[in-house]
């Protein structure tokens, strides 16, 4: 356990010092850490799921507050919490399965992961106990009239839990099973994170057609892989790269693209408007995708999106599913922006004479602001491409309902109150 | 932890490049003492490194930077208030960081950075020789010097580690605990090591940064004096370092050798010394070899630059985009705080929880607010402000450009501008604060006003409606009376030179019988120290009594015994009363009448040390007042003007043209000399007047007069004469109505500038010259003096400026002169006679 504490502290320290760059790395490390938390957590005989949830939530809060700007941390914490809840119910329902309408609940977790086959009615009903039913779930379960007996069933589960006191052996087995299932599911989550780029780039050929001209801003690894995948499929296309001040990551992207043989044009950020009329598509990465389908993206992208709207050029966002955040951008918990050091904009020494506080009123006259992100509203986004396919921004609530449970949306507020 | 260190070392943070550079862990020596007094009176109660900078103690910034820069072992050297530093670190997270060990070393007798490094070196050597033997703690370090986790110390391992722990065997970072930086060390370290490989004499790399000093005030934005350095542009070797350039008035002197030896030199005045040094282990031994090195820059750096026997070299590393600065004085405190708020020190900014501080959010216009702030709707918090956790802000309060700490209570209608308010401060309604520092626990009663540049030290109470004047420092502790002139040699613990908080307390007694409102006779008690008897006299006034340290017992009016226990912490009395008579007694709480900060206030206003008042604005929190700026600009212009003037005047008068003595007639020569000395006298007079008007220090006047003397090629007799002449002239110019007043004026001037005059009167010859000069004055230019010649001569004698031998030999010299010349000798006949008698008596 102290080892655990050291690991957490170290990770928190790294997050705080902003030493981990990029959502994917952060998400992966978070998931790995939470997996360790789950595996190290000692479970009480009763209410194991709650114990796990509490443990994960506790660690999660610390991680989130260490770097509130990196929303991927919160997303992964919520995903893991969701996994625990789901697995718990699958364990419970598998016990009670023979008494229930359907008996195939053991496959529940795989169903969830694949997200293509229709989940078992029992699992859905069970899920409904914990969270408000989504429209989709309601519609699906209505014909079976499972909703009607939800209440009854939850009582029944309670009874089962009470009953399980009397079977220590079975309980032991179950606790093992719960933990193992959760770890298994988290492993799958980690795999998903690892493979998100491939998953996304598989769809590249569907979106990048022959002789297309595509504009992007700054550098995103997802975007790079997307282009590379298209190039590998022998598509020939051209890319306009806006340099992305003040970090000028676009320069890096241009180099990488040219190294892979893509015809590339580098432009300044301010040239975007004049060039956007000549491109067929704008393709960018995102920092986070919010619940309403709006995105938080590197600074300058709102301008690009507006320009694209003006010329009716499709504005396409590629983002791994770990960037999908169940919060709304107006949520008070969301730190929309990370303010970075002004030294990225200008060299301190050269302006030191302008920052002489000993003169005048003592108030600084020069203020250098360096926000890291822009918010692009969903109206400006035409398509969001994630691991699970391309969707309209308005579809995001559905994905969120699949990956998160509503109880976990507000992690922090619960802790402070 | 010890065992873990070895295992996990190197697996740390992100310094990949670090590993190939350093097989030995990178070490740092952090001096948790500035060995200066610029933050007095605050530093009398708390060490400088623990003062909050944007609500976080300074040392945390330094340690956080060291940790992120890949330093693995830090030795924190604590001198003043070492206990506090150690306690703070004990309770902080720094002791349980992975890959980062912090060891504290305490010393109570180090008074300078030099001492500190010598001590480290001694231990280093000692432990090196005796490594890995079991030692008791005291054997290794002496009781006073050790600081380690006591739990661990019990084990042999810990001690052995301790022995090895102080082993500084590779390059180390030397930094003081008040430095804020976010620079990456990798590059600088690599350069340092590369140079070391080529040349083992490259012992130190100094980090510098571009920052242009103000052309008007000749100080950097950090309030430090203009720094002039010479760097070899190719090798980046430091060739010249001068940080006390102000009195040089725009001129610097470079050694000719410097220009001869180096093909190119770039001379900078736009660099700022970050006080971050990468040192080789030799530096420690250098300090030990040169036991008189105290100051890191003034002695060590300059010493190495001048010393060409050993050939040690210092190099510079300039940082561009990253930030580094050291808090040297109040102005740099202000400047660096603002830099932090403006995020130049990213990620060391308030809303990033590096220090595990409370969650703070950055809002619009650079405003940071912690989550637990209670703020009235009508309160306005302006841009670039930081509000700490648990602070309450009342109605219509306006805060701008300020930092407010944790747990403060700010009333309504308060205006706070450009202030640094630390923790648990209470500011009542209607107060006004501008550009000031308010330390922990201060109470400002309603309507109090704090003018720019003020500093309120810990727990001071400012009375209602009291106006704290600009640039004043208020502390519960009295100002030390003894002022040591050498600033850096005195930064001792509390107690040295500092009196008990207060010598005299005034105490009001209220006795009453029946109701309180009826009888409120103030009794007057004479209190004595420590259980001596207190006699009481009936009087209506408040009485002063000396405060010992703790406790007073007295009998007042044979009716009750009063026991006062003085609690130094809370600065108040615990009052215990044993009633002997039937009357009740109430001791009023107005026991601080001696305090100077208003009704009900507690604290002493420190007077500004002599000569420093003019300079107070330079290094205070407040922005420089406009009139000072104009003055300074004027002075700069004048200097420039004078400089060019001097340049024109000097050569013709300074050099004797060859041939002038050969060809020119004697009279010409004499004329020229006379002309010269007339010029000279005028110059000296002007210098003196400037000294009087601008309050210039004596030694500077001496310097100036000396340079005049050299340029006119005159003797010190002439100087004495000229100076005396200007003094008397000055005294004459002061309006006076009678001869007596004139004597008094003259006496005043002579007393004030006695030292200056004394400097030029090393022997009798000069003294006689002064008398002659005076005589001449009385006859020619200032006839007013002729009537009071004797009085002034006597005055000079009394002041010991002119000795009796001088007067006697002057009289003897005049013996054979004309009658007309002997007027004054006659006048002073009595004095001479008296002197003669006195000397005979002595014989």
Q: What 3-state class would DSSP assign to B367?
A: strand
Half-sphere exposure of B593 (CA within 13 A, CB side): 15
Mean pLDDT of B487-504: 37
* Cis peptide leading into residue B347 (ω within 30°): yes
Q: What span, in angstroms and rounded, lies between the C-alpha atoms of B392 and B384? A: 18
CA distance B103 to chain A (A): 20
Residue B323, chain A, CB below 8 Å: the answer is yes
Whether the bond into B41 is cis, omega within 30 of 0: yes
Distance CA B75, CA B55 (A): 24
Phi, then psi, of B467 in degrees rounded to 5: -105, 115
Q: What percent of chain B has pLDDT above 90?
A: 12
The pLDDT-based confidence of A276 (bands split at 50, 70, 90) is very high
- Interface predicted TM-score of the whole assembly (ipTM), two decimals: 0.77
What element of type H or E holds A214? strand A212-217
Question: DSSP 3-state assignment of B95?
Answer: helix
Q: What are phi and psi of B763, to 5 degrees?
A: -140, 175
Instruction: State whether residue A199 is helix, strand or coil.
Output: helix
Report how far residue B337's alpha carbon sits from residue B385's, in angstroms, rounded to the nearest whole number: 10
B354 close to B246: Cβ distance less than 8 angstroms: no
Residue that wins the pLDDT comparison between B208 and B138: B208
Using the predicted structure, report yes or no on whether residue B31 has a pLDDT greater than 80.
yes
Instruction: Return the higher-pLDDT residue of B755 and A82.
Output: A82
What is the number of residues in chain B? Answer: 843
By percentage, how much of chain B surpasses pLDDT 70? 70
Across the interface, do B361 and A18 touch by the CB < 8 Å criterion?
no
The predicted structure's pLDDT at residue B26: 86
Interchain CB distance below 8 Å, A16 and B322:
no
Q: Positive or negative, the Cα torsion across B143, B146, B151, B154?
A: negative
DSSP E strands, B280-391: 313-319, 324-326, 360-363, 367-370, 374-375, 380-381, 386-387
CA atoms within 13 A on the CB side of B822: 11
Binary contact (B210, A10; C-beta < 8 A):
no
Q: What distance, in Å, lies between the first and last C-alpha atoms of chain B?
A: 82
Q: Please enumerate, as own/partner, the contacts of B519-526 that have beta carbons within 8 Å and a separation of 24 or more.
A: B523/B556, B523/B557, B525/B554, B525/B556, B525/B562, B526/B554
Confidence of residue B250 (pLDDT cuts 50, 70, 90): low
For residue B660, pLDDT beyond 60: no
Two structure tokens written together for B406 = 């944790």
**In the predicted structure, residue B656 carries a pLDDT above the cut 60:** no
**Could you tell me how many helices (H) and strands (E) chain A has, helices first?**
17, 10
DSSP 8-state code for residue B300:
I
State mean pLDDT over B817-838: 75
- Contact indicator for B61, B180 with CB cutoff of 8 Å: yes
Give the CATH fold of the A197-337+372-408 domain: Rossmann fold (3.40.50)
Q: At what angle do helices A249-259 and A221-232 cross, to 10 degrees?
A: 20
Give the start-to-end residue ranges of the domains of chain A: 1-194, 197-337+372-408
Cα distance from A17 to chain B (closest Cα, Å)?
A: 6
Instruction: With CB atoms and an 8 Å threshold, state whether B323 touches A359.
Output: no
Average pLDDT, chain B: 71
Closest CA of chain B from A68, distance in Å: 9
Q: Tell me if B409 sits within 8 A of B390, measured CB to CB.
A: no
Q: Which residues contact A191 (CB under 8 A, 6 or more apart)?
A: none
Neighbours of B644 (CB within 10 A): 10
- Residue B267 CB neighbours (<10 A): 12
Average pLDDT for B119-146: 44
CB contact under 8 A, A362 and B401: yes
Tokens of B279: 């040192």
Check if the beta carbon of residue B15 is closer than 8 Å to that of residue B98: no
Is 50 exceeded by the pLDDT of residue B661?
no
Question: Which of the two residues, B685 and A293, has the higher pLDDT score?
Answer: A293
Mapped onto helix, strand or coil, the DSSP state of residue A324 is: strand
Q: Which of residues B54 and B826 earns the better pLDDT score?
A: B54
A-to-B residue pairs, Cβ atoms closer than 8 angstroms: 115
Name chain B contacts of A352, Cβ cutoff 8 Å.
210-212, 221, 272
Say how many C-beta atoms besides its own lie within 10 A of residue A170's C-beta. Answer: 12
Least confident interval from A66-70, A189-193, B180-184, B638-642: B638-642
Give the residue on A whose Cα is nearest the Cα of B435.
A362
CA distance B228 to B238: 11
CA distance B7 to B3: 7
Distance CA B487, CA B760 (A): 28
* B622 part of contact set with chain A, CB < 8 Å: yes
Rounded distance between C-alpha atoms, residue B174 and residue B195, angstroms:
18
Question: pLDDT band for position B833 (50/70/90)?
Answer: confident
In B372-431, the residues whose Cβ lies within 8 Å of chain A are: 383-384, 400-401, 417-418
pLDDT-derived band at B396, boundaries 50, 70, 90 = very high
CA distance A301 to A218: 9
Q: What angle do CA A58, A60, A63 make, to 5 degrees?
A: 120
Q: Which of A248, A352, A359 to mutate to test the interface with B (most CBs of B within 10 A)?
A: A352
Tokens 């509490």 found at: A54
Task: For residues B736 and B94, give the distance between their C-alpha atoms in angstroms, rounded to a whole number.
Answer: 70
In this structure, what is the dihedral angle of CA atoms B271, B276, B278, B282, given to the nearest 10 degrees?
A: 100
pTM above 0.90, yes or no: no
Q: Which of A384, A32, A337, A83 is nearest to A194 (CA)?
A: A32
Cβ-nearest to A357 among B98, B400, B623:
B623
Tokens (6 digits) for A213: 């001209």
pLDDT for B221 beyond 60: yes
Nearest Cα to Cα of residue B149 among B162, B135, B132, B160: B162
Q: Would you state the pLDDT for residue B608?
A: 66
Q: Is the pLDDT assigned to residue A12 strictly greater than 70?
A: yes
| Interface test mutation site (partner A, options B11, B69, B321, max chain A beta carbons within 10 A) | B321
Cis status, amide bond into A246, omega within 30 of 0: yes
**CA dihedral over A170, A173, A178, A179, signed as positive or negative:** positive
Are residues A358 and B217, on separate chains, in Cβ contact within 8 Å?
yes
Contact, B273 vs B240, CB < 8 A? no
- Please state which of the ranges B154-158, B277-281, B449-453 shows the lowest mean pLDDT: B154-158
Q: Please provide the size of chain A in residues.
A: 417
**Contacts with A358 from chain B: Cβ below 8 Å:** 214, 217, 219, 221, 223, 331, 335, 623-624
Chain A hits for B182, CB-CB cut-off 8 Å, are: 341
Give the chain A residue whose CA is nearest to the CA of B337: A357
The answer to whether the CB atoms of A358 and B331 lie below 8 A apart is yes
User: What does the block give as tokens for B455?
Assistant: 């500093």
Distance separating alpha carbons of residues B617 and B598, to the nearest angstrom: 24
d(CA B780, CA B786): 10
B609's CB contacts (< 8 A; 6+ apart) are: B483
Residue B272 has pLDDT above 80, yes or no: yes
**Tokens for B348?**
């060391």
Angstrom distance (rounded) from CA A85 to CA A96: 16
Local confidence band at A135 (pLDDT 50, 70, 90 cut-offs): low
Mutation choice for A interface testing from B346, B356, B363, B386 by most A CBs within 10 A: B346
- pLDDT (mean) for B93-112: 77
d(CA B320, CA A346): 10
Q: What percent of chain A has pLDDT over 90?
A: 45
Closest CA to B336 of A357, A341, A349: A357
Instruction: Choose the weakest-confidence range: B111-120, B566-575, B613-622.
Output: B566-575
Tokens representing B826? 């006659």
Beta bridge partners of B437: B420, B455
| pLDDT(A290) > 50 | yes
Other Cβ atoms closer than 10 A to B425: 24
- Among A15, A16, A358, pick the best mutation site for testing chain B contact (most B Cβ within 10 A): A358
């Amino acid at each position: 356990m102290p080892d655990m504490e050291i690991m957490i502290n170290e990770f928190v320290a790294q997050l705080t010092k902003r030493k981990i760059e990029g959502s994917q790395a952060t998400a992966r490390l978070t998931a790995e850490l939470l997996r360790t938390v789950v595996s190290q957590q000692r479970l009480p005989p009763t209410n194991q799921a709650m114990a796990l949830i509490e443990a994960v939530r506790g660690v999660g809060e610390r991680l989130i507050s260490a770097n509130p700007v990196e929303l991927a941390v919160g997303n992964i914490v919520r995903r893991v919490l969701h996994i625990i809840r789901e697995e718990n119910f699958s364990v419970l329902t598998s016990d009670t399965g023979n008494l229930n309408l359907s008996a195939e609940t053991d496959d529940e977790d795989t169903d969830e992961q694949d997200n293509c086959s229709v989940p078992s009615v029992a699992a859905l009903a069970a899920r409904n106990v914990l969270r408000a039913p989504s429209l989709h779930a309601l519609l699906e379960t209505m014909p079976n009239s499972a909703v009607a007996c939800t209440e009854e069933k939850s009582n029944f589960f309670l009874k089962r839990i009470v009953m399980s006191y009397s079977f220590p052996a079975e309980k032991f087995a179950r606790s093992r099973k719960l933990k193992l299932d959760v770890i298994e599911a988290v492993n799958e989550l980690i795999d998903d994170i690892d493979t998100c780029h491939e998953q996304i780039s598989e769809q590249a050929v569907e979106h990048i057609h022959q002789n297309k001209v595509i504009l992007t801003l700054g550098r995103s690894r997802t975007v790079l892989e997307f282009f590379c995948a298209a190039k590998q499929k022998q598509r020939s296309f051209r890319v306009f790269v806006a340099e992305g001040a003040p970090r000028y990551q676009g320069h890096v992207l241009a180099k990488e693209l040219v190294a892979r043989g893509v015809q590339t044009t580098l432009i300044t950020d301010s040239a975007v408007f004049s060039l956007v009329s000549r491109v067929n598509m704008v393709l960018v990465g995102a920092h986070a995708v919010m619940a309403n389908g709006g995105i938080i993206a590197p600074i300058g992208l709102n301008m690009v999106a507006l320009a694209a709207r003006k010329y009716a050029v499709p504005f396409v966002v590629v983002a791994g599913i770990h960037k999908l955040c169940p919060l709304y951008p107006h949520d008070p918990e969301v730190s929309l922006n990370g303010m970075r050091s002004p030294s990225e904009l200008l060299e301190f020494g050269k302006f030191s004479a302008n920052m002489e506080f000993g003169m005048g009123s003592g108030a600084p006259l020069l203020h250098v602001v360096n926000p890291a992100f822009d918010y692009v509203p969903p109206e400006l986004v035409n398509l969001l491409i994630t691991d699970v396919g391309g969707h309209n921004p308005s579809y995001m609530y559905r994905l969120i309902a699949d990956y998160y449970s509503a109880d976990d949306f507000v992690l922090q507020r619960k802790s402070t109150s | 932890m010890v065992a873990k260190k070895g295992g996990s070392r190197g697996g740390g943070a992100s310094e990949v490049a670090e590993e190939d550079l350093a097989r030995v862990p990178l070490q740092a020596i952090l001096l948790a003492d500035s060995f200066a007094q610029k933050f007095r009176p605050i530093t009398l109660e708390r060490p400088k490194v623990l003062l909050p900078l944007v609500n976080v103690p300074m040392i945390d910034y330094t340690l956080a930077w060291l940790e992120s820069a890949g330093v693995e072992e830090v030795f924190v050297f604590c001198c003043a208030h070492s206990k506090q530093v150690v306690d703070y670190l004990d309770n902080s997270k720094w002791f349980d960081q992975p890959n980062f060990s912090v060891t504290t070393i305490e010393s109570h007798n180090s008074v300078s950075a030099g001492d500190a490094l010598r001590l480290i070196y001694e231990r280093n050597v000692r432990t090196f020789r005796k490594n890995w033997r079991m030692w008791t703690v005291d054997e290794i370090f002496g009781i006073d010097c050790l600081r380690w986790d006591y739990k661990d110390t019990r084990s042999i391992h810990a001690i052995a580690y301790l022995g090895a722990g102080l082993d500084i065997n590779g390059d180390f970072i030397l930094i003081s605990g008040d430095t804020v930086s976010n620079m990456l060390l990798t590059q600088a370290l690599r350069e340092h090591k590369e140079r070391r490989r080529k040349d083992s004499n490259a012992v130190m790399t100094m980090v510098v940064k571009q920052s242009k000093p103000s052309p008007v005030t000749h100080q950097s934005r950090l309030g430090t004096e203009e720094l002039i350095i010479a760097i070899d542009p190719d090798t980046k070797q430091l060739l010249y370092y001068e940080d006390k350039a102000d009195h040089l008035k725009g001129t610097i002197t470079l050694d000719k050798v410097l220009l001869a030896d180096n093909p190119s030199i770039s001379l900078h005045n736009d660099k700022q010394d970050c006080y971050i040094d990468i040192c080789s282990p030799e530096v420690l031994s250098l300090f030990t070899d040169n036991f008189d090195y105290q100051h890191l820059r003034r002695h060590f750096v300059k010493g190495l630059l001048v010393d060409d026997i050993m050939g040690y070299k210092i190099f510079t590393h300039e940082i561009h985009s990253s930030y580094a600065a050291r808090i040297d004085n109040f102005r740099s405190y202000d400047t660096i705080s603002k830099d932090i708020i403006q995020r130049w020190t990213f990620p060391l900014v308030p809303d990033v929880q590096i220090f595990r501080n409370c969650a703070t959010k950055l809002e619009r216009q650079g405003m940071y607010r912690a989550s637990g702030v209670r703020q009235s709707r009508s309160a306005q918090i302006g841009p670039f402000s930081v509000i700490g956790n648990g602070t309450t802000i009342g109605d219509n309060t306006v805060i701008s450009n300020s930092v407010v700490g944790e747990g403060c209570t700010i009333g309504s209608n308060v205006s706070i501008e450009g202030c640094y308010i630390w923790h648990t401060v209470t500011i009542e309604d209607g107060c006004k604060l501008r550009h000031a520092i308010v330390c922990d626990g201060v109470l400002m009663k309603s309507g109090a006003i704090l003018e720019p540049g003020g500093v309120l030290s810990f727990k001071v109470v400012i009375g209602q409606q009291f106006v704290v004047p600009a640039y004043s420092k208020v502390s519960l502790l009295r100002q030390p009376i003894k002022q040591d002139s050498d600033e850096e040699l005195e930064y001792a613990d509390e107690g040295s030179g500092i009196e008990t908080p207060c010598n005299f307390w005034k105490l009001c007694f209220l006795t009453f019988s029946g109701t309180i409102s009826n009888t409120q006779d103030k009794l007057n008690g004479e209190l004595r120290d420590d259980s001596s008897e207190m006699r009481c006299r009936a009087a209506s006034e408040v009485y002063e009594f000396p405060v010992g340290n703790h406790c007073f017992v007295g009998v007042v009016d044979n009716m009750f015994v009063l026991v006062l226990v003085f609690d130094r912490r809370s600065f108040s009395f615990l009052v215990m009363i044993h009633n002997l008579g039937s009357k009740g007694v109430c001791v009023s709480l107005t026991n601080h009448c001696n305090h100077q900060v208003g009704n009900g206030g507690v604290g002493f206003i420190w007077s500004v040390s002599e000569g420093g008042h003019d300079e107070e604005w330079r290094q205070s929190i407040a922005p420089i007042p406009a009139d000072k700026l104009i003055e300074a600009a004027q002075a700069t212009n004048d200097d420039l003007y004078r400089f060019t003037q001097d340049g024109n005047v000097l050569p013709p008068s300074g050099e004797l043209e060859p041939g002038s003595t050969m060809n020119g007639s004697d009279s010409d020569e004499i004329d020229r000399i006379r002309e010269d000395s007339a010029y000279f006298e005028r110059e000296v007079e002007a210098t003196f007047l400037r000294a009087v008007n601008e309050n210039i220090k004596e030694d500077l006047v001496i310097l100036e007069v000396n340079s005049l003397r050299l340029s006119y090629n005159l003797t010190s007799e002439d100087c004495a004469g000229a100076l005396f002449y200007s003094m008397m002239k000055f005294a004459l110019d002061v309006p006076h109505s009678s001869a007596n007043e004139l004597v008094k004026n003259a006496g005043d001037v002579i007393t004030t500038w006695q030292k200056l005059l004394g400097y030029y009167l090393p022997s009798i010859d000069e003294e006689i010259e002064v008398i002659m000069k005076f005589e001449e004055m009385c006859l020619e230019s200032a006839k007013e003096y002729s009537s009071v010649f004797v009085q002034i001569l006597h005055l000079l004698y009394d002041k010991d400026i002119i000795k009796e031998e001088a007067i006697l030999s002057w009289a003897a010299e005049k013996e054979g002169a004309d009658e007309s010349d002997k007027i004054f000798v006659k006048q002073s006949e009595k004095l001479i006679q008296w002197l003669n008698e006195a000397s005979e008596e002595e014989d």
